[in-house]
Chain A
């Protein structure tokens, strides 16, 4: 839509303001991560920029340094604090492995299922779709104990084998992301006219060949968009990760380490929270264009 110049400027200003409003908590959190505790908790005022920044929180959570040592280097003693318990680098890796892995698993499974659901007429298709959607209905609390038992039997616990533990978490995330992924992918496949498949099959292609060489390349954008959503939901999941794994600690679980019996380590919470945004933000920037273009959620052209 064409706008006159003053209106366009107004729109730009509003757009920046609104985005700024949504960015504020994140920026505030980043600011909190470099504040000394006395600036986070000041009974007389809200401290904005009037403080001496400290890198202790990043040193401890991201470099595995000892707080006592850092405090000495900076000339401030901040009590005690073991390095190992608060070193969070492993958690970022755990989160990445699990999120990327589960995104891959989900996308493959969902693309296959969505293609059949979009292209083939068979009895029970609607029922199958409803069951898929239904996977997101379940409150995780109801299935924690059965899941733990299944994991024990199937050897998917990280305490038995770390790699199986990763796989276990990937699979359960694949399940909770399956509904969104299948729904999205089905709508993308629905957008591709069936004539395309038929033409390929008249050429003598099998279904799988048609799928791989003809249809799949046409929905690449959709696959990217689906992958991003799966990644986000896996990256942020908390409850299942908390209860299904012990040695693997994803970022949301790791942050709980800082809730201690003598008070929360707010600085560490802020530092890890901020640091954990960065990988995902880079990821989103990279796929941003696919994301918006891909997320059309079905055909609007009919």
Chain B
């Protein structure tokens, strides 16, 4: 390009209205956040301070009602533990599997491009649909996965994985891990591909083993990628809803009830909007706490 393709600055505009100032750049994002994010958040907080009478539908201002109830509600604590367990297990599997599969598929050989594309396919299926798929595949009487496990003799005939308090969580996690491991693979692959060549060449000359290279070089150099991937995934996992709702309806009992699915039940079933808002806000606090802690510990800089 040449300098004469640039027109002179608009000196007559105040500076904050020109592109020299950050304001015009941030305005669209800021406006979107205020209108659709921050204002509804404010409304949600406001709602949580009311008490709703289910019979008359009247909302009475009673700021402590829901917030004291939420800490005494056993189902909230159960849901909190389920949420943390769900998030932890799913993250662990997705991270490890994602890394391994990324290493496996990171090759320039013919055909690997197609494999990588196929690997991303689970991501484009809506979670609500994935949940239906796994609901059918895990059906104790008719499902291909359940029947397979039963054939192997690991479960008694007809065993309902999703209808059993001890196995339902595993069933839901299976769908979750299947769908989102590819997300990790994608990000890990990108990370692997952008690693500089020199250190690896040096290590090869020094005769380092593959394990040494992985733990001493690849992993530390990928740490930022991994941290951001875990952060993004973790935020979504702490708000897990679709799989639990469709596959087990938070059940059996409350065995797979997460904070958001409990909030959903209170919202849709009991129409207790203030209490549902309270539980949802509690989830928000949890996400903020966990992610701040995570960013501190792993020194993630946005």
> Does any Cβ of A come within 8 Å of B63's Cβ?
no
With an 8 A cutoff between CB atoms, is A18 at the interface?
Answer: yes
CB of B128 closer than 8 Å to a CB of A = yes
Residues of B contacting A46 with CB < 8 Å? 142, 144, 147-148
Query: Which one of B25-33, B73-81, B165-173 is at the A interface?
Result: B25-33
Q: How far is the CB of B195 from chain A (nearest CB, A)?
A: 6
Could you tell me how many residues of chain B have their Cβ less than 8 Å away from some Cβ of chain A?
103
In terms of DSSP, what is the predominant structure of the interface of chain A? helix
* Segment at the interface with A among B88-96, B179-187, B249-257: B179-187
The answer to whether the Cβ of A100 comes within 8 Å of any Cβ in the partner chain is no
A56 at the interface (CB under 8 A from B): no
Interface string of B83-113 (1 = CB under 8 A from A): 0000000000000000001001101010111
Q: Which residues of chain A are near B195, meaning CB under 8 Å?
A: 300
A83 within 8 A of partner (CB): no
Please determine whether B124 and A284 come into contact, CB atoms closer than 8 angstroms.
yes
A203 within 8 Å of B (CB atoms): yes
Q: Is the interface of B mostly helix, strand, loop or mixed?
A: helix
Q: Scan A108-147; emit 1 where CB is below 8 A from any B CB, else 0.
A: 1110110111001010011011111111111111111111
Within 8 A of B (CB), among A235-289: 235-239, 251-252, 255-256, 264, 266, 269, 273, 276-277, 280-281, 284-285, 288-289
A137 contacts B113, CB within 8 Å? no
Does A72 reach chain B (CB closer than 8 Å)? no
Q: Note all chain B residues with C-beta closer than 8 A to A295.
A: 186-187, 189-191
With contacts A236-B127, A238-B127 taken as known, whether A142 is within 8 angstroms of B277 at the C-beta atoms is yes
Q: Which residues of B contact A175 (CB under 8 A)?
A: 32-33, 36-37
The one of B7, B44, B228, B288 that contacts A146, using a Cβ cutoff of 8 Å? B44
Mark out the residues of chain A between 26 and 45 whose CB falls within 8 Å of any chain B CB in the assembled complex.
26, 28-29, 32, 40-43
Determine the residue in chain A with the shortest Cβ distance to B227: A297
Task: Decide if A213 is an interface residue (CB 8 Å cutoff).
Answer: yes
Q: Size band of the A side of the interface?
A: 35 or more
Question: In the complex, A116 Cα to B267 Cα: how many Å?
Answer: 39
> What's the minimum C-beta distance from A168 to chain B, rounded to whole angstroms?
10
Contacts of B288 in A (CB 8 A): 134, 137
Nearest-neighbour CB distance to chain A for B155, whole angstroms, equals 15
Q: Which 7 residue pairs of A and B lie closest in terms of their CB atoms, listed nearest first?
A: A295-B190, A142-B280, A116-B25, A280-B124, A146-B43, A143-B40, A207-B19
